[in-house]
Chains A and B, each alone.
Chain A
Amino acid sequence: MADGTGTGAAQPAQFAFDAESEAAIPAILAKYPPGRQASAVLPLLDLAQRQMGRVTGSAWIPVAAMDVVAARLGMAPIRVYEVATFYLMFNKQPVGKFHLQLCTTTPCWLRGSDEVVAACRRLTGIKGWGETSEDGLFTMTEVECLGACVNAPILQVNDDFYEDMDAAATERLLETLRRDEMPPPGSAIGRQGSAPVGGPTTLIEKAGLIEKAGLIEKEGE
């Protein structure tokens, strides 16, 4: 195919916003001044992708959905294609139910993202990036920095970040996902937010944690 839509799964001929999506649209459009409705292209594309995920189990945006967004916002379809293809968070091809987005940028790589990638490959049977497992559950995508380097390495599943991953944690996560459960997002080693491993080390007076950390005496010495 000489066009940009790729060679993957067949594009559905039609797309329409369902009742749940339709209910959300007025609130989105109301955020932009009259005549500037084209600004809503990103939230509407997101809405379309979520609807596809909800209805078909695969969160992606077929061309038909881009056309619907274009018609809704009074834009030329090509302008919507440009936006949709610019953002990697929009999937232009069908993805698995769980979209594994693996960060391999420097901080994650230093903290062992290779191990996480290898575990994902081993457990899902996926060989290359962008591929979907045979059972249709998982798609592996290599992503650039997810902005959570403190808790590297990061494995993003659909919308959620799973942090401080290693092979064992990845294995636990994927097994849970296979049971169709989403474990709570966050650190796999019980880290609080982005605090240092084992707990906070600075500004602890203000946090009311003086005794717990046992640092006052040290300073006094």
Chain B
Amino acid sequence: MPKLTVDGIEVEVPAGSSVLQAAELAGKEIPRFCYHERLSVAGNCRMCLVEVEKVPKPVASCAWPAAEGMVVKTDSPMVRNGRRGVMEFLLINHPLDCPICDQGGECDLQDQAMGYGWDHSRYREPKRAVTDKELGPLVKTVMTRCIHCTRCIRFITEVAGVSELGATSRGEEMEVGTYVEKALSSELSGNIIDLCPVGALTSKPYAFIARSWELARTDGVDVLDAVGANIQVDARGPEVLRVLPRINDEVNEEWLGDKSRFAIDGLKRRRLDRPWIRQGGRLEPASWDESFAAIAERLKGLSGEKIGAIAGDLVDAESMLALKDLMTALGSQNLDCRQNGARLAQRRREFYLFNTTIAGIDEADAALIIGSNPRREAPVLNARIRKRWLAGNFPVAAIGQPADLTYPVEWLGEDPRTLTALLAGEHPFAARLKAAKNPMLILGQGALARPDGQAVLAAAWKLAAECGMLRADWNGFNVLHTAAARVAALDLGFIPGTGAKGFWAMRSGGVDFLWLLGADEFDIARIPSSTFVVYQGHHGDRGAERADVILPGAAYTEKDGTYVNTEGRAQRGWLAVYPPGDAREDWKIIRAMSGVLGQPLPYDDLASLRRRLAEAHPAFARVGAVARGGCTNLSGPAGDPAQMLPTPFTPAIENYYETDPISRASPTMARCTATFGAPAALAAE
């Protein structure tokens, strides 16, 4: 723990820290372009120069180790002159086209030029121009603006793990790019837009749309996968213009998947902005009163067991609880949230959570992935696994369809027979799991959404118990969800009550009245025509197509909502824009419906609904936190491992870019699908 002095302030820093980190501890801001906390140190922009006593020249503080007794000056004449010189060199070939640059207003170069730039240029030679690169449908390039900080190269290589960007040629001819033209194949490619300190890499869909100071910023939670990445929703007037990640070291660090970042143009298309009623086979526009009346009419005299509800993947916990309460009031226990058919046991929370937690992956030292492709199902979480692998000594094996997960994976087999072999200790990897201190396994939806899902779940738990994954100080059993609403729904018990009908029964005509709360991800055409379908949701997708009554709801950016991610972490997002047209926040629709039915739900505002939520499950009382702990009860979920079928596990997500009504409505995601291959081609990789 060296002690050093920065501008007269004494600080003690962990061994191995840089002078820049020491200066930050002392509260001194050091300008930088190439340095980034989460990337390797490059030391090539030279903007972070500081003066160190007894060192004759200014030093790059990002790459200079802090040592005992060092005296650092961050604002001496030598430092200021040095930085001014660096800035002048950086601006020699920079086009200074800020008025037409999308980075304007949030540009590191622009900001730091205010501190260290000159009011005029001494440079009289021709400036260098660089051909723009085509990096695919998401990242726009204006390479003449590039200052060669190499942040994008380091991110794509280190964090995203796809090694596609590099610096080719040398000297004045050096260019950042892919050399051979190709679209960046990473699901995290959008992050290089945030990382770029200048306007060389900007967002293609957002090009020339808005200036940063015109945007209203609202905190939100991403719902397009089950990681629950923290996001900032930037809106102008009624339109969400972009989504950026918010830093949360325990969840998404500061990264965001491309779907979560770019699918937002789907929020403006195919929207349900008014109620509709099917009359004579055709959907006709209707008023709220007419729709409620139509529903009440159909429900009249219907017994509870003929009524059912299915909750979708993007739904907030508040509306699911309201719907459950309404169903209970109507005497129905026919509820289900597992529209992918996953055999998940609700009995104990440990059976359906990512118990290790995302941050806990850092502590694991061996992993087994079963029936999951985390790169497609949760790219940010996959980057965390990769980060752990980069730290060394982390064998990863997987059972399922081989794919490139951006780190080396030992593919043990494609079907449950491998799991049986592991259980019997016949497979050598079982010994490695047992030898590990903190082994973990990740069970994907591809392993659970199949007829023998319950047996696979039981087998996985048994394997976890046998390999020392379930201890009082460590829980290495993890279920990776793909639906943002799933954990909250399971917490709230949005599953069939004893003897009640579940997803399959309701889909196949087991009920006469079916309420779909944003449920689109199943074969809706197989609902028989005798079933009266109410679709409550925000997009005119599969569910709305089949519906008899459509109730327009709000998307995740248009309501205050609570979501529980795959770790069991309840997180809250806020309303950024109002729902379009007559659409309303979903819990209010259900509350209004309950009034029409003469069974008013006991909450009139969000605060009282949230009190009810906290009573329903303690997780909702601790927003933002996750109860991480070991496992003391080794008894597993119901199911017999011997019942596993020999059919191979199939991926839960065929096409990362189109998984839900929002991304299916997004032209940007359609372009990504076209660029990165149709689902069939993806499956073949």
The 8 A CB mask of B33-45 against A (1 = contact, 0 = none) is 0000000000000
- The one of B131, B163, B170, B181 in contact with A85, judged by C-beta atoms closer than 8 angstroms, is B170
Q: Given known contacts A76-B164, A78-B164, is B177 in contact with A4 (CB within 8 Å)?
A: yes
Is A4 touching B169 in the complex (CB atoms < 8 A)? yes
* A contact residues around B134 at 8 Å (CB): 2-3
Q: For the complex, what is the distance from the CA of A85 to the CA of B174, rounded to whole Å? A: 9
Highest count of chain B CB atoms <10 Å: which of A2, A78, A82, A85:
A78
- The one of B163, B165, B180 in contact with A5, judged by C-beta atoms closer than 8 angstroms, is B180
Task: Give the Cβ gap from A65 to chain B, nearest Cβ, in Å.
Answer: 13
B413 at the interface (CB under 8 A from A): no
B521 at the interface (CB under 8 A from A): no
**Minimal Cβ-Cβ distance residue in A for B131:** A2
Q: For the complex, what is the distance from the CA of A1 to the CA of B131, rounded to whole Å? A: 9
Mostly, the A contact residues are helix
Is B163 touching A79 in the complex (CB atoms < 8 A)? yes
* B contact residues around A76 at 8 Å (CB): 157, 163-164
B166 at the interface (CB under 8 A from A): yes
Is B180 touching A3 in the complex (CB atoms < 8 A)? yes
**Minimal Cβ-Cβ distance residue in B for A67:** B180
Which bracket fits the contact residues of B? 10 to 19
Is A3 touching B170 in the complex (CB atoms < 8 A)? no
**Minimal Cβ-Cβ distance residue in A for B164:** A78
Q: Given known contacts A2-B131, A2-B181, A3-B133, is B167 in contact with A82 (CB within 8 Å)?
A: yes
Is A63 touching B180 in the complex (CB atoms < 8 A)? yes
* A contact residues around B169 at 8 Å (CB): 4, 85-86
**Minimal Cβ-Cβ distance residue in B for A87:** B170
- The one of B132, B133, B166, B170 in contact with A78, judged by C-beta atoms closer than 8 angstroms, is B166
Task: Give the Cβ gap from A5 to chain B, nearest Cβ, in Å.
Answer: 6
**Minimal Cβ-Cβ distance residue in B for A77:** B180
Is B170 touching A86 in the complex (CB atoms < 8 A)? yes
Q: Which residues in window 51-102 of A have CB below 8 A to B? A: 63, 76-79, 81-82, 85-86
Task: Give the Cβ gap from B152 to chain A, nearest Cβ, in Å.
Answer: 12
* A contact residues around B131 at 8 Å (CB): 2
Task: Give the Cβ gap from A10 to chain B, nearest Cβ, in Å.
Answer: 14
Which bracket fits the contact residues of A? 10 to 19
Q: For the complex, what is the distance from the CA of A85 to the CA of B179, rounded to whole Å? A: 9
Is A2 touching B163 in the complex (CB atoms < 8 A)? no
Is B168 touching A4 in the complex (CB atoms < 8 A)? yes
Is B181 touching A78 in the complex (CB atoms < 8 A)? no
**Minimal Cβ-Cβ distance residue in B for A11:** B180
* A contact residues around B163 at 8 Å (CB): 76, 78-79
The 8 A CB mask of B132-163 against A (1 = contact, 0 = none) is 11100000000000000000000001000001
* B contact residues around A5 at 8 Å (CB): 179-180
* B contact residues around A1 at 8 Å (CB): 181
B102 at the interface (CB under 8 A from A): no
Q: For the complex, what is the distance from the CA of A1 to the CA of B164, rounded to whole Å? A: 18
Is A2 touching B166 in the complex (CB atoms < 8 A)? no
The 8 A CB mask of A5-16 against B (1 = contact, 0 = none) is 100000000000
Task: Give the Cβ gap from A60 to chain B, nearest Cβ, in Å.
Answer: 15
Q: For the complex, what is the distance from the CA of A85 to the CA of B176, rounded to whole Å? A: 12
- The one of A2, A63, A79, A86 in contact with B133, judged by C-beta atoms closer than 8 angstroms, is A2
Q: For the complex, what is the distance from the CA of A85 to the CA of B175, rounded to whole Å? A: 10
**Minimal Cβ-Cβ distance residue in A for B169:** A85
The total of Cβ contacts below 8 Å across the A-B interface reads 51
Q: For the complex, what is the distance from the CA of A5 to the CA of B182, rounded to whole Å? A: 12
B5 at the interface (CB under 8 A from A): no
* B contact residues around A4 at 8 Å (CB): 168-169, 175, 177-180
Task: Give the Cβ gap from A132 to chain B, nearest Cβ, in Å.
Answer: 20
- The one of A3, A63, A81 in contact with B166, judged by C-beta atoms closer than 8 angstroms, is A81
Task: Give the Cβ gap from B386 to chain A, nearest Cβ, in Å.
Answer: 15
* B contact residues around A82 at 8 Å (CB): 166-168, 179
Is A81 touching B181 in the complex (CB atoms < 8 A)? no
**Minimal Cβ-Cβ distance residue in B for A2:** B134
Is B132 touching A3 in the complex (CB atoms < 8 A)? no
Q: For the complex, what is the distance from the CA of A32 to the CA of B300, rounded to whole Å? A: 82
Q: For the complex, what is the distance from the CA of A156 to the CA of B422, rounded to whole Å? A: 64
Q: For the complex, what is the distance from the CA of A77 to the CA of B165, rounded to whole Å? A: 10
Task: Give the Cβ gap from B141 to chain A, nearest Cβ, in Å.
Answer: 9
* A contact residues around B166 at 8 Å (CB): 78-79, 81-82
Is B167 touching A3 in the complex (CB atoms < 8 A)? no
* B contact residues around A86 at 8 Å (CB): 168-170
Task: Give the Cβ gap from B168 to chain A, nearest Cβ, in Å.
Answer: 4
* A contact residues around B167 at 8 Å (CB): 82
**Minimal Cβ-Cβ distance residue in A for B168:** A85
**Minimal Cβ-Cβ distance residue in B for A75:** B163
Q: For the complex, what is the distance from the CA of A195 to the CA of B483, rounded to whole Å? A: 79
* B contact residues around A77 at 8 Å (CB): 180
* B contact residues around A78 at 8 Å (CB): 163-166, 178-179
* A contact residues around B170 at 8 Å (CB): 85-86
Q: For the complex, what is the distance from the CA of A197 to the CA of B169, rounded to whole Å? A: 39
The 8 A CB mask of B174-211 against A (1 = contact, 0 = none) is 01011111000000000000000000000000000000
* A contact residues around B157 at 8 Å (CB): 76
Highest count of chain B CB atoms <10 Å: which of A5, A63, A81:
A81
Q: Given known contacts A76-B163, A86-B169, is B180 in contact with A2 (CB within 8 Å)?
A: no
Q: For the complex, what is the distance from the CA of A140 to the CA of B133, rounded to whole Å? A: 29
* B contact residues around A3 at 8 Å (CB): 133-134, 177-181
Q: Given known contacts A2-B133, A3-B133, A86-B170, is B180 in contact with A81 (CB within 8 Å)?
A: yes
* B contact residues around A79 at 8 Å (CB): 163, 166
Task: Give the Cβ gap from B649 to chain A, nearest Cβ, in Å.
Answer: 29
Is A81 touching B179 in the complex (CB atoms < 8 A)? yes
Q: For the complex, what is the distance from the CA of A78 to the CA of B184, rounded to whole Å? A: 12
Q: Which residues in window 92-138 of A have CB below 8 A to B? A: none
Task: Give the Cβ gap from A205 to chain B, nearest Cβ, in Å.
Answer: 45
**Minimal Cβ-Cβ distance residue in A for B181:** A3
Q: Given known contacts A81-B179, A81-B180, is B132 in contact with A2 (CB within 8 Å)?
A: yes
Q: For the complex, what is the distance from the CA of A77 to the CA of B185, rounded to whole Å? A: 14
Q: Which residues in window 254-296 of B have CB below 8 A to A? A: none
**Minimal Cβ-Cβ distance residue in B for A4:** B179
Task: Give the Cβ gap from B624 to chain A, nearest Cβ, in Å.
Answer: 38
Q: For the complex, what is the distance from the CA of A77 to the CA of B166, rounded to whole Å? A: 10
* A contact residues around B132 at 8 Å (CB): 2
The 8 A CB mask of A28-55 against B (1 = contact, 0 = none) is 0000000000000000000000000000
The 8 A CB mask of A167-192 against B (1 = contact, 0 = none) is 00000000000000000000000000
Task: Give the Cβ gap from A206 to chain B, nearest Cβ, in Å.
Answer: 43
Q: For the complex, what is the distance from the CA of A82 to the CA of B176, rounded to whole Å? A: 10
Q: For the complex, what is the distance from the CA of A79 to the CA of B177, rounded to whole Å? A: 12
Q: For the complex, what is the distance from the CA of A78 to the CA of B157, rounded to whole Å? A: 10
Q: For the complex, what is the distance from the CA of A85 to the CA of B171, rounded to whole Å? A: 11
Q: For the complex, what is the distance from the CA of A63 to the CA of B179, rounded to whole Å? A: 9
Task: Give the Cβ gap from A69 to chain B, nearest Cβ, in Å.
Answer: 14
* A contact residues around B178 at 8 Å (CB): 3-4, 78
Q: For the complex, what is the distance from the CA of A67 to the CA of B164, rounded to whole Å? A: 13
Q: For the complex, what is the distance from the CA of A81 to the CA of B179, rounded to whole Å? A: 7
Q: For the complex, what is the distance from the CA of A63 to the CA of B169, rounded to whole Å? A: 14
Task: Give the Cβ gap from B158 to chain A, nearest Cβ, in Å.
Answer: 12
28 pairs from A and B in contact (CB 8 Å cutoff): A1-B181, A2-B134, A2-B181, A3-B133, A3-B134, A3-B178, A3-B181, A4-B168, A4-B175, A4-B177, A4-B180, A5-B179, A5-B180, A63-B179, A76-B163, A76-B164, A77-B180, A78-B166, A79-B163, A79-B166, A81-B166, A81-B168, A82-B166, A82-B168, A82-B179, A85-B168, A85-B179, A86-B170
Mark A residues whose CB is within 8 Å of B.
1-5, 63, 76-79, 81-82, 85-86
Additional A-B contact list (9), CB under 8 Å, known A81-B168, A81-B180: A1-B181, A2-B134, A4-B169, A4-B177, A4-B180, A76-B163, A78-B163, A82-B179, A86-B170
8 tightest CB-CB pairs across the interface, nearest first?
Answer: A76-B163, A3-B181, A78-B166, A81-B179, A85-B168, A4-B179, A82-B166, A85-B169
